[in-house]
Amino acid sequence: MKEYLIGRGLDADIVIPDETDQVSRHHCYLRISFFGRMQLCDDSTNGTFINGETMEKGEWRNVSRKDKVSLAKVWELDWDEVPHPYRKPHILLAALLIAALIFGCFMAFSSPKTAVLPVDSISVAVGFGGGDDAMTATRTPEEATTEPESDAKEAPAKQDPAINGIKDRLLKTTRTAAENGDSAEAMPAVETIL
């Protein structure tokens, strides 16, 4: 928040060149917040008037650049003399927000929605409930068999040991769950798949 002293004194931030000495050396104070809200406080002998209405001495009142502020009824405040202290930070902040928005839109529309990966391996993941029971096995295309399903069942020794380990662990987990009464109906379906 910036605060400006308005008055006839040379130490004022906004000096009023009043030769009649009606305007006090420290006539009033103007506060401007970061968001542009302005407040005026009278500290004069002859008064400050906002749109013709007298201010109480020491009272802070909201004002805008559209208000007519009269100092001792002899001098009207020229709003062009009042600086815009946060104009540069506001412009910089707006520029940063626009840049971030453009960058975010660019990233959202330029990245693919689904990743297309070359097929150089086949992965199998099996698990119950997302706990530590999840198991994964990976095989390259060279290791994958193209034998009919009936041959694979007849010769389980040709299958990848990792796949056999997953099947064994899956059956064990399913049987344990069935014994505990958790998912007894799932066990026959799992054994049929395997």
Chosen domain end from 60, 81, 102? 81
Does residue 70 sit in the same domain as residue 17?
Answer: yes
The pLDDT, as a whole number, for residue 107 is 80
Helices and strands (H, E) in the chain, number of each type:
4, 11
Whether residue 69 is contained in a domain is answered as yes
**CATH number, domain with residue 53:** 2.60.200.20
- Pick from 46, 33, 47: nearest CA to 4: 33
Which residue blocks in the chain are alpha helix, DSSP H?
87-110, 149-154, 161-179, 186-193
User: Which of 48, 63, 81 delimits the end of a domain?
Assistant: 81
Please state, in angstroms and rounded to a whole number, the distance separating the CA atoms of residues 47 and 56.
8
Per-residue tens of pLDDT for the chain, all 194 residues: 899 999 999 999 999 999 999 999 999 999 999 888 999 999 999 999 999 999 999 999 999 999 999 999 999 999 999 988 877 777 788 888 898 998 888 887 775 555 544 544 444 444 444 445 444 555 555 554 544 454 445 554 556 676 777 777 777 777 777 677 665 455 454 444 54
Identify the domain containing residue 53 by its residue range.
2-81
In the chain, the number of structural domains is: 2
66 SS3 class: coil
Residue positions counted in the chain = 194
Judge whether 111 lies within some domain: no
Angle between helix 161-179 and 186-193 (nearest 10)? 170
CA atoms within 13 A on the CB side of 95: 6
Out of 55, 81, 107, pick the residue that ends a domain. Answer: 81
